[in-house]
Chain A
C-alpha cells in the first residue's frame, strides 16, 4: 500500500464520516436540545430513501425534484409527530412510542416493497483521477458532494440556531421553557417546529444515503445505531462535536472495512459500549452544548 491508496482511503473515510455526522445531527438536536428520545429516526431515514427511490425510478422524476417534496413532507411529518404522539415528557414513553412508529414504518415498507435490497444509482459513480507521487488518487465526485452537502447543512443549521429569530426562540425555549412562555413564546408550538426542522435534516441525510448505499427495509437500524454512536462520542447535543465525531467514526469504519470487513459492526459497537461506559459525556466534550450557546 502506497501513499496514494492511503490518501484515498482517508478521504473516502472522511466523506463517509461527514454523512454519519449529518445522520447523527438530527438525533443530537432532538435529544440534546429538545429532550426527545426518537427511536424512529432510523426508520424515517429508511422511508426517505425509499421515497427517493420511488420518485426517481417509478414516477420518473428528476432527483432534484424529489428533494424539495421530501423536505417539505418531512417537516410536516416531524411537526405532526411531536404535536400528536410525543407530547409526553417521560423518556420511556417516548422510547416506546417512537419504537412503535418505527415498527409500523418498517413493516409497512417491508410489506410494500419486499425484503430485496435495492440500489438507486446503477454503475460506478463518476470519479476524479488526480496524479499523485507514486500512484493515482481516485476520488468519487459523489463523496465530495456528500461532504459538501453535509458540512453546508450543519453550518447552515448552526447559523440558523444562532442568528435567526426562530433559531433564537428555539434556544430560548430549550433553555427556560417557563421564562420563554412568560415573554410570550408559544413553547409547545416552537418545540413542534424544532422537531419538524430536525426532520428536515433527517430528510437530507436520507437523500444523501440513498445516493450511495443499498436500500433495505431494515437499513434504518444501522443508521440509527451509527447516529447513536456518533452522538455518544460527541456528547449529546453537541452539533459541532457531532460533525468531528462523525468524521472519526467514518475513518474508523473505512479502516475496519479494509482490514477486518466481517467484524466491522462488532468493532464499531464494542467501541460504542466502551465509550458509553467510560466516557458517558462524550469524547469531544464541549462546555457549550446546544442549550447554552450552540
Chain B
C-alpha cells in the first residue's frame, strides 16, 4: 500500500472538512440551499464515478448512462407509488433491473465496439425513454411519478449523499488497482492484445457494465427518494452528457476525476441563482465550451494539471531571467 499521508491529501482533507460541517454552521432554513447543492454535487460524483468505471476504465464509451440512473429512479417510484412497497424493495428491484440491462449492454458490446457501441447506447436510452413516456399505467407518462415519503431531515440525505459519493469513489480507486481493474484497463488500451494475453474480453466488459449499471441505479433511486419525483426528463440526453462532461473535465479514468469535475455542477446552480432560471441554458452552453476547451488543450482533465509545474512556469515567466544563457535556450529544453 502506498503512503496516504501526502501533502495533497492533507490539503484535500482541509478543503473538505468545512463542507462536512455545513449543517452545523447554518441555522434553520439557511442551511437548506447549501445542503441541497452538496447533495446534488455528491450524487453527480457518485453517478459520474459509475460512468467512469464503464467508460474511463473499460473504454466502453457510453452516451446513454442516464438509462440506469432512470431505471433506479423509476423502480423506486413504481414500487412505492403503484405497489405501496418499502423503498428498499424498489431499490433492490432497480438494482436487479439495471443489472439485467447492464448484461444486455455487455452482450451488445461483445459484438459492437467504438462508435457503434456508442450509438447503440443512445438508442437504448431512447427506447427506455419511449417506454417511460408511453407505458402510462405504470409510469404516468410525461407527468412522472410523485413520491410521498415520511419527512426525513435533510441532514440525513446530506450525509448519505456524501457517504455514497465517498463509497463509490473508494470502490473505483480500489477497482482500478485490483486485478479486475487491470483487466478493464487492458481492454481499454488494446482489446486485441488483451485477448491474445488471455483476458476474457466479453466477460470483463459485461462485468464492468453490470457493476456500473447497478451502482448508477442506486444513485438514481437515492436522488428520486430525495427530490420525490421521477419523470422522463431523467432519460434526457442532457443528463448523460452532464455525466460525461463532469468525468471528462475532471479526468477520465481517474478516481479524482469526477470529484474535481462535479464542482462544475455548482456553476449551473450559481447562474440559476444569480441571473434567474431563464439563464440556465447558458450554463449548459458554458459546459459545452469548457468541455471543448479541455478536450483540445487538456484531454486528461483537471487531474492532469500539475499545479507545481504550472506555478513554476508562471513564476519563471514573471521573474526576470538571471541567467541570460537560460533565457536564450529554446523552450522545453
* Chain A interface residue count, Cβ-Cβ cutoff 8 angstroms: 38
Chain B residue nearest in CB terms to A109: B281
Apart from A96-B244, A276-B120, 10 more pairs, CB < 8 Å: A85-B292, A100-B292, A100-B295, A103-B284, A221-B237, A229-B123, A273-B120, A277-B108, A277-B111, A280-B112
Within 8 A of B (CB), among A64-95: 85, 91-93, 95
Enumerate chain B residues within 8 angstroms of A269, measured Cβ to Cβ.
123-124, 126-127, 130
CB distance from B240 to the nearest CB of A (A): 9
Within 8 A of A (CB), among B211-261: 237-238, 241, 244-245, 248
Question: Are B130's CB and A111's CB within 8 A?
Answer: no
- Candidates B119, B122, B288; contact of A104 at CB < 8 Å: B288
| Contact of B25 with A by CB under 8 A | no
Chain B residue nearest in CB terms to A108: B285
Interface string of A249-293 (1 = CB under 8 A from B): 000000000000011011001101100111010000000000000
Chain A residue nearest in CB terms to B283: A107
| Contact of A99 with B by CB under 8 A | yes
- Candidates B112, B115, B120, B285; contact of A31 at CB < 8 Å: B115
| Contact of B273 with A by CB under 8 A | no
| Contact of B20 with A by CB under 8 A | no
Name A's B-contacting residues (CB within 8 A).
Answer: 31, 37, 39, 85, 91-93, 95-97, 99-104, 106-108, 110-111, 221, 225, 228-229, 232, 262-263, 265-266, 269-270, 272-273, 276-278, 280
- Candidates A39, A100, A266; contact of B130 at CB < 8 Å: A266
Enumerate chain A residues within 8 angstroms of B238, measured Cβ to Cβ.
103
Enumerate chain A residues within 8 angstroms of B291, measured Cβ to Cβ.
96-97, 99-100, 103
Question: Are A95's CB and B123's CB within 8 A?
Answer: no
Chain A residue nearest in CB terms to B121: A273
Within 8 A of A (CB), among B126-163: 126-127, 129-131, 134
CB distance from A130 to the nearest CB of B (A): 36
The majority secondary structure among interface residues of chain B is: helix
12 pairs, CB–CB < 8 Å, chain A vs chain B: A92-B61, A97-B291, A99-B291, A103-B238, A107-B281, A232-B116, A265-B126, A266-B127, A272-B123, A273-B124, A276-B120, A278-B111
Question: Are B299's CB and A93's CB within 8 A?
Answer: yes
Which range contains the number of B residues in contact with the other chain?
35 or more
- The docked-state distance in angstroms from the alpha carbon of A154 to that of B291 is 34
- The docked-state distance in angstroms from the alpha carbon of A30 to that of B123 is 20
Enumerate chain B residues within 8 angstroms of A39, measured Cβ to Cβ.
63
| Contact of B289 with A by CB under 8 A | yes
Enumerate chain B residues within 8 angstroms of A97, measured Cβ to Cβ.
291-292, 295-296
Contacts A91-B115, A97-B295, A280-B111 given; does A266 touch B131 at CB 8 Å: yes
| Contact of B114 with A by CB under 8 A | yes
- The docked-state distance in angstroms from the alpha carbon of A108 to that of B280 is 10
CB distance from B328 to the nearest CB of A (A): 32
Question: Are A111's CB and B279's CB within 8 A?
Answer: yes
- Candidates A95, A107, A272, A278; contact of B284 at CB < 8 Å: A107
| Contact of B305 with A by CB under 8 A | no
